[in-house]
Chain A
Amino acid sequence: MHKHFLIVMSALLCIWARPSPADESARAQMKGLDEQVQEVKTDVLSIAAELNQLEEKLLYPSDTHLAVFVSLAHGETLRLDAVQIQIDGHLATHYIYSFKELDALRRGGVQRVYSGNIATGTHEIEVSVSAKLANGKDYTQTERFPFTKEIKPKSLGVMLAGPDTPQPGIHLGDW
């Protein structure tokens, strides 16, 4: 019985274990495959880059391209449920956040919530936020901002901050 115990123990703890020739061969095979997988990843990434350029050129020409990004203020604890964006009174997007996405925003990530096309000139963006505060209370806020679209791609950054922050509310940055 002791013999079995030591076998199980060694196998589970991985102490003093030396790889067998069969393990070595499997490992070499896995390593070879791993290198090929890395190469194909590089290739697919370069295809993705080219495809993105094509898509952007085809679907969002620079003359009319508008992108809206959403971020949370630094250290914000707001539990963001949803964001709705309207441009010139028309619904552009209504986004509901998952836990992972909210976590990514809290850690400083920026979400591209909308990409679209818009004519040059003056416009209005309306941002509506539904969230929960740290104390569990519902928090909703809507703000409207005018902006001008010139003959170049336009990026708008929407930064959200809860009511308990030094600069609460919805802020729009022009990028």
Chain B
Amino acid sequence: MRIRSQWLSMGVVLAAVAAQPSVAAELRDLYFGEALYRAYQGQYFDALERLDAELAQHHRVDEPELDSLQYHIRQADFSVGDFELRYRMHLRAGRAIKAVLDADVEQPVKNEAAYRLARIQFQKDQPEDALHSLERIQGTVPDNIKDDLEFLRANVYSALGRPADAVEVLKRLQGAESLKGFAAYNLGIALLQAGHNAEALRQLEKAGQIDSRVSATAAVRDKSNMVLGSLLFKSTEYGPAQLAFDRVRLDGPYSNLALLSTGWAEVTAHDYQKALVPWGMLIERDGTDAAVQEARLALPFAYSKLQVYGRAALLYGQALDAFGKELEKADASMRSIRAGKFLQALIREEINQDNLWVVRLRTLPDTPETFYLTELMASNDFQTALQNYLDLEDLHRRLLVWQDSFAAFEDLIRLRRANYEPLLPQVDAHFRELDSQMRLRLEQREHLQKRLQDILTAPRPELLATADERLALESLRKIGRALRSGSGAEHDALQARVQRLQGLLTWRLYTEYPERLTQAHKDLRDLNEDVRLLHERYTAFVRARQAAVHSYVGYDQSIKRLRTHVGEALQRVDTLLARQGQVIEAVAIDELNTRRQRLEAYQVQARYAVADSYDRALKQHAGGGTP
């Protein structure tokens, strides 16, 4: 973090454009959409959990090109990196994008991957790697990232101590609407770094006059004016410095400092009267602000310069009271922090409802521990530490819920076992019986099918006789056999009658053979349908039987393993939470001590000045003129 921090200390603003996962007009994968839904709400843990699972499943399927995620696969790979970055997992971020970069994909996709990877590397404080990634970009660059890419390139050059290169890139970006203000300000800073002071001042002058209602651009414009004003102030160009300070909005984050600076510019130009206005406004503002505290001393200082000693003495007296109260506040804050209330305030639910939670901290009731810390909390490193603390607290809560859920799972499994186990032997016995009957019927069907198949090659009409016909034929055969031994006319007549009847039946079997064969096939088809349904029910039963068993068997090991993992993770999270909390508290107390020391110094100055002003006022009163 060092390079970037030092570079940031030069006042360069990072980026107007943050990585925002975006969805294609037509969403084809619900689960990817679900990950985006979570991410859009800032729930990056849930977003990552879902997207990781979806990507893992996508890579496991045999034909990933048929999977619905295939349509969004590049976007998903890029989003993983974005989510990881936003969830402050810099060490892991970028792996998926690296894979895209190394894969066999079209150059525009590679270019976008290289840009995203460079952005991650830059945020991970790896500007050399970021530049290397940017150098892999060739040919066509997607329009939607063109300006952002160049802005990143300029930032990388600045971070690498190559301001001249940054200047070249930033000059080309001055017309980019999405970077309005940012590119102008950064160009000014890069020129300053490159040693082109005069040009830098002109550029900052331009950046300080950009017209915009976008709050981020307006904030950068304020910052440009503050930097410009302070540079001019240092060069003793008080008039132009004051003009720059005057351009800072009165309700922006730099307004207090601008008012203080305007006053100092006037005072340094020996126009004490004019300094009264900004400082007079400033002392009415929040008393914990460092600029306001300084104004409490500066205002009576100006009055004393104007030889209005009575007013000066009164204001010094008020300042003394105010510093005393502020010291009490600082002490209360320190006591409160030592009692652990700062950390409790940080995890208050209502604070995390919006992005401006740091700003809202001071407006919350019963949080004296935060009075002096909003500036500290806005700093980069402290923000990371705070966010980590909040993330750890979130992990702690999740792990506790999971730990409790194991008991519920076990209860569920116990109840299922108690329900199914007594039922299953009976069900199984009944099933075995049905199963044997079914097998018998299936064998019969197989037999019938085989016979019909045989008939097709060697026709045998008698096989298609009805039961009555078969009985009749059998009876006629028996009668025929009985008549073989007899003789006589009556016997012959009987034999002829039997033969006639046999002939009749045979005639019928042969003449009706085609229709009977067709009907037999039709009946077999109907039977097949019944058998298919039977099979389905059979399979459904087997599946239900398996599902019943699977609903309570085979979870013990998983639950045991997960319970151990959750327990271990909880322990680690708690240890880290305590350590992170200690660091935050220590840094906060250090900050409060610094502020306290400054207040004490102000108090000493005010004490001396109040006495001095009273003396001068008395002398003035006694002398009726200048003391």
Q: How far is the CB of B581 from chain A (nearest CB, A)?
A: 10
Interface 0/1 of A88-117, CB less than 8 Å to B: 000000000000110111011111100000
Contact partners of A29 in chain B: CB under 8 A: 583
User: Is B257 within 8 A of A9, CB to CB?
Assistant: yes
User: Is A40 within 8 A of B395, CB to CB?
Assistant: yes
Within 8 A of A (CB), among B555-589: 555, 558-559, 562, 565-566, 569, 572-573, 576, 579-580, 583, 586-587
The contact sample of 19 A-B pairs, CB cut-off 8 A, is A2-B264, A4-B294, A5-B298, A12-B254, A19-B6, A33-B580, A35-B91, A37-B391, A37-B580, A40-B572, A42-B89, A44-B399, A47-B562, A54-B409, A54-B562, A61-B550, A104-B36, A108-B23, A109-B39
A16 CA to B5 CA in the complex, in Å? 12
Contact partners of A19 in chain B: CB under 8 A: 5-6, 9
Within 8 A of B (CB), among A1-30: 1-2, 4-5, 8-9, 11-19, 22, 26-27, 29-30
Interface residues on B, range: 35 or more
User: Is A34 within 8 A of B88, CB to CB?
Assistant: yes
Contact partners of A4 in chain B: CB under 8 A: 294, 297, 602
A sample of 13 more A-B contacts (CB under 8 A), given A54-B555, A107-B36, A111-B37, is: A4-B294, A9-B230, A11-B290, A18-B6, A19-B5, A31-B1, A33-B576, A37-B576, A47-B402, A49-B53, A51-B402, A52-B49, A104-B41
User: Is A107 within 8 A of B23, CB to CB?
Assistant: yes
Choice from B8, B41, B257, B551 contacting A8 with Cβ under 8 Å: B257
A43 CA to B294 CA in the complex, in Å? 49
User: Is A45 within 8 A of B290, CB to CB?
Assistant: no
User: Contact residues of B with A, CB < 8 Å?
Assistant: 1-2, 5-6, 8-11, 22-27, 30, 33-34, 36-42, 45, 48-49, 52-53, 56, 68, 87-92, 226-227, 230, 254, 257, 260-261, 264, 268, 290-291, 294, 297-298, 301, 375, 381, 384-385, 388, 391-392, 395, 398-399, 402, 409, 412-413, 540, 543, 547, 550-551, 555, 558-559, 562, 565-566, 569, 572-573, 576, 579-580, 583, 586-587, 590, 602
User: Is A8 within 8 A of B388, CB to CB?
Assistant: no
Quick one: given A5-B264, A109-B36, are A15 and B230 in contact (CB under 8 Å)?
yes
User: Is A33 within 8 A of B569, CB to CB?
Assistant: no
A155 CA to B38 CA in the complex, in Å? 18
Scoring A5, A14, A100 by chain B CB atoms within 10 A of each residue's CB, the highest score goes to: A5
Interface 0/1 of A53-64, CB less than 8 Å to B: 010011001011
Secondary structure call for the A interface: helix
A31 CA to B352 CA in the complex, in Å? 24
Residue A36 at the chain B interface, CB threshold 8 Å:
yes
User: Contact residues of A with B, CB < 8 Å?
Assistant: 1-2, 4-5, 8-9, 11-19, 22, 26-27, 29-31, 33-45, 47-52, 54, 57-58, 61, 63-64, 69, 71, 74, 100-101, 103-105, 107-112, 120, 151, 155, 157, 175
Contact partners of B56 in chain A: CB under 8 A: 49
Contact partners of A100 in chain B: CB under 8 A: 40-42
User: Is A18 within 8 A of B583, CB to CB?
Assistant: no
Q: How far is the CB of B542 from chain A (nearest CB, A)?
A: 12
A30 CA to B9 CA in the complex, in Å? 18
Contact partners of A111 in chain B: CB under 8 A: 34, 37
A34 CA to B92 CA in the complex, in Å? 13
A34 CA to B566 CA in the complex, in Å? 20
Quick one: given A40-B569, A54-B559, A110-B34, are A12 and B257 in contact (CB under 8 Å)?
yes
Contact partners of B388 in chain A: CB under 8 A: 33-34, 37
A71 CA to B398 CA in the complex, in Å? 27
User: Is A1 within 8 A of B301, CB to CB?
Assistant: yes
A167 CA to B291 CA in the complex, in Å? 58
Quick one: given A8-B291, A33-B579, are A103 and B399 in contact (CB under 8 Å)?
no
Tally of A-B Cβ pairs under 8 angstroms:
208
The 6 closest A-B pairs by CB, nearest first: A109-B37, A110-B33, A108-B23, A104-B40, A37-B388, A109-B36
Choice from A11, A22, A34, A58 contacting B384 with Cβ under 8 Å: A34
Q: How far is the CB of B49 from chain A (nearest CB, A)?
A: 5
Contact partners of B87 in chain A: CB under 8 A: 41
User: Is A108 within 8 A of B257, CB to CB?
Assistant: no
User: Is A33 within 8 A of B41, CB to CB?
Assistant: no
User: Is A14 within 8 A of B27, CB to CB?
Assistant: no
A39 CA to B9 CA in the complex, in Å? 29
Contact partners of A101 in chain B: CB under 8 A: 37, 41
User: Is B230 within 8 A of A110, CB to CB?
Assistant: no
A44 CA to B586 CA in the complex, in Å? 27
Contact partners of A5 in chain B: CB under 8 A: 260-261, 264, 294, 298
Quick one: given A37-B576, A44-B569, are A50 and B562 in contact (CB under 8 Å)?
yes
Choice from A8, A12, A30, A105 contacting B37 with Cβ under 8 Å: A105
Choice from A26, A39, A49 contacting B583 with Cβ under 8 Å: A26
A27 CA to B602 CA in the complex, in Å? 29
Q: How far is the CB of A166 from chain B (nearest CB, A)?
A: 13
A4 CA to B257 CA in the complex, in Å? 12
Contact partners of B590 in chain A: CB under 8 A: 22, 26
Q: How far is the CB of A120 from chain B (nearest CB, A)?
A: 8
A29 CA to B294 CA in the complex, in Å? 33
Q: How far is the CB of A25 from chain B (nearest CB, A)?
A: 11
A34 CA to B49 CA in the complex, in Å? 20
User: Is A14 within 8 A of B9, CB to CB?
Assistant: yes
A16 CA to B497 CA in the complex, in Å? 130
User: Is A30 within 8 A of B569, CB to CB?
Assistant: no
Q: How far is the CB of B37 from chain A (nearest CB, A)?
A: 3
User: Is A42 within 8 A of B23, CB to CB?
Assistant: no
A104 CA to B40 CA in the complex, in Å? 5
A36 CA to B572 CA in the complex, in Å? 9
User: Is A30 within 8 A of B583, CB to CB?
Assistant: yes
A107 CA to B39 CA in the complex, in Å? 11
A8 CA to B590 CA in the complex, in Å? 17
Contact partners of A30 in chain B: CB under 8 A: 381, 384-385, 583
Quick one: given A54-B558, A108-B36, are A9 and B391 in contact (CB under 8 Å)?
no
User: Is B576 within 8 A of A36, CB to CB?
Assistant: yes
Q: How far is the CB of B48 from chain A (nearest CB, A)?
A: 6
A50 CA to B573 CA in the complex, in Å? 18
Choice from B22, B30, B88, B555 contacting A110 with Cβ under 8 Å: B30
A104 CA to B388 CA in the complex, in Å? 24
Choice from A12, A38, A71 contacting B291 with Cβ under 8 Å: A12
